[in-house]
Amino acid sequence: METKRSIIITGGAGFIGSHVVRLLVNKYPDYRIINVDKLTYAGNLENLKDIEGKPNYRFVRMDICDFDGILALMREEKVDGIIHLAAESHVDRSIKDPFTFARTNVIGTLSLLQAARTYWEEQKEGYEGKRFYHISTDEVYGALEMTSPEGIEPPFTTRASSGKKHLAYGTRFFTEDMKYQPHSPYSASKASSDHFVRAFHDTYGMPTIVTNCSNNYGPYQFPEKLIPLFINNICQRRPLPVYGKGENVRDWLYVEDHARAIDVIFHRGQVAETYNIGGFNEWKNIDIIKVLIQTTDRLLGREENEDVGLITYVTDRAGHDLRYAIDSSKLQRELGWEPSLQFEEGIEKTVSWYLANGEWMRRITSGEYEKYYDEMYSGR
């Protein structure tokens, strides 16, 4: 039997956050799950329609920078855990507007840490039984090169230290002890927030954990990111804007596997530790785009590869990181977590979900989703 807990999940109306909220609300009926989200353009309460009436769930519209509001909420709900996902998350937006990223990702995280510190230090048991879990990205480590053992063309088969065999585009991987070398304003702001979280452990003894995850994909992702944007564009027969030559490599993880990892780490992870989360699943953008076209066309009953002509090479993203590749051996070894889905299965599920949920997508692209909060929550 689990002990009862009262947990704030920040950014729970976003892509990954909504999966974490759903998992914990359904799995732990004795827990109180409080979703704190400002509802920026990326927050969509329609992602949580299926659980919004559950008795162990509460939504609070609040900015994480609102120190007094967060502190009052922690006192009211006797919060003993925070799982922090709220962030500005899109690299392209960070290039246009870096200040918003510094405000939410850096100042917001600091404000949340300080509110948690204030409340937990008021308790007679102090930090005992408390946990501040910060969700971060592999992008803080910078970019990896594409290198291969002599005479072998990437991708080549290699083995992780856990023994797991996988395809790779380079010989180096992001490990937990790697130096931070962020390149985009987004990754710089996430790196800074990671440092603040660790500083609160080292300085005040706050029980913190940080995880750094690779690119996620799956249902409910905002259609500014590669996979949902391209599925929607293929459906609408709109151009598919491939940055540069499409040669950049990303390591993709199905979002429900990330949510499962977060559950495992929140409950069993070691305080002050960092865990990298990834699927050993590297893909060149152009290859993933071809898989998306093939799968979407097939599921729509179109001719195979009918929409390849939509591929449009456009100017590269400034400072575009060449390759991300996570080594998640530590998490596998220490906590027994592994991705559950093969990529082919995950992509099939993802494309099928977007095709079956055209109304969800339509309400986002029309802007109607932003009215949902006023219709459903104001006056509650």
- Nearest distance from C-beta of residue 105 to ligand NAD, angstroms: 7
Q: Report which residue type is found at 265.
A: I
The answer to whether 226 contacts ligand TYD (rule: CB under 6 A) is yes
Distances (CA, A) of 74 to 39, 47, 52, 70, 151: 19, 24, 21, 6, 58
Torsion of the alpha carbons at 33, 38, 43 and 49, rounded to the nearest 10: 40
68 is catalytic: no
Binding mask 11-40 for ligand NAD (x = CB under 6 A): x-xxxxx-------------------xxxx
Among 127, 133, 186, 217, the active-site one is 186
Q: Catalytic site residue 139?
A: yes
> Which among 80, 138, 297, 327 is annotated as catalytic?
138
Instruction: Please report how many Cα atoms fall inside a 13 Å half-sphere around the Cα of residue 359, on the Cβ side.
Output: 2
Residue 215 interacting with ligand TYD (CB under 6 A): yes
Contact status: 339 vs ligand NAD (CB under 6 A) = no
Q: Does 212 bind ligand TYD (CB under 6 A)?
A: no
Is residue 48 within the footprint of ligand NAD (CB under 6 A)? Answer: no
Q: Is 187 in the site for ligand NAD (CB under 6 A)?
A: no
Cβ proximity to ligand NAD: between 127 and 369 the closer is 369
**Site track for ligand NAD across 189-228, x = CB under 6 A:** -x----------------------x-xx-----x------
* Total residues at interface with ligand TYD (CB under 6 A): 12
Q: Is residue 229 near ligand TYD by the rule CB under 6 A?
A: yes
SS3 state of residue 139: helix
Which C-beta is closer to ligand TYD: that of 211 or that of 248? 248
- Binder of residue 229, out of ligand TYD, ligand NAD, none (CB less than 5 to 8 A by kind): ligand TYD
Pairwise CA distance, residues 80 & 25, whole Å: 16
If DSSP codes are grouped into helix, strand and coil, which group holds residue 186? Answer: helix
Residues between 73 and 92 with contacts to ligand TYD, criterion CB under 6 A: 91
Q: Judged by CB under 6 A, which stretch of 86-94, 141-149, 151-159, 166-174 contacts ligand NAD?
A: 86-94
Compute the chain's Rg from CA coordinates: 21
Question: H or E stretch including 134?
Answer: strand 131-137
Among 5, 22, 117, 250, binds ligand TYD (CB under 6 A): 250
**Which pair of structure tokens corresponds to residue 262?**
């977060």
Active-site residue, 138 included = yes
* Structural tokens at position 350: 């993802």
Taking the CB of residue 359, how many other CB atoms lie within 10 A of it? 10
Is residue 349 classed as helix, strand or coil in its secondary structure?
Answer: helix
Distance of CA 106 to the CA centre of its chain: 17
Choose the binding region for ligand TYD from 158-166, 221-229, 263-271, 336-344 (rule: CB under 6 A).
Answer: 221-229
Reference 24, options 47, 40, 42, 8; nearest CA is 8
Q: How many residues at the interface with ligand NAD, by CB under 6 A?
A: 30
Q: Which of 63, 88, 139, 297 is catalytic?
A: 139
DSSP structural state of residue 319: T
What sign does the dihedral 368-223-278-85 (CA atoms) show? negative
The site string for ligand NAD over 110-149 (x = CB under 6 A, - otherwise) reads: -------------------------x-x------------
Nearest to 246 by CA among 176, 293, 203: 293
What b/e readout covers 304-313, taking b as 16+ CB neighbours within 10 angstroms?
A: eebbeebbee
User: Which residue in 189, 208, 285, 295 binds ligand TYD (CB under 6 A)?
Assistant: 285
Q: Does 241 bind ligand TYD (CB under 6 A)?
A: yes
Task: Give how far Cα 269 sits from Cα of 178, 245, 294, 335, 355, Å.
Answer: 19, 40, 39, 7, 37
**In the structure encoding, which two tokens stand for residue 8, read together?**
């704030």
Catalytic (active-site) positions: 138-139, 186
Task: Kindly list the residues in this chain that would bind ligand TYD in the complex (CB under 6 A).
Answer: 91, 215, 225-226, 229, 241-243, 248, 250, 285, 317
For binding to ligand NAD (CB under 6 A), which residues are involved? Answer: 10-11, 13-17, 37-40, 42-43, 63-65, 85-89, 104, 108, 135, 137, 190, 213, 215-216, 222
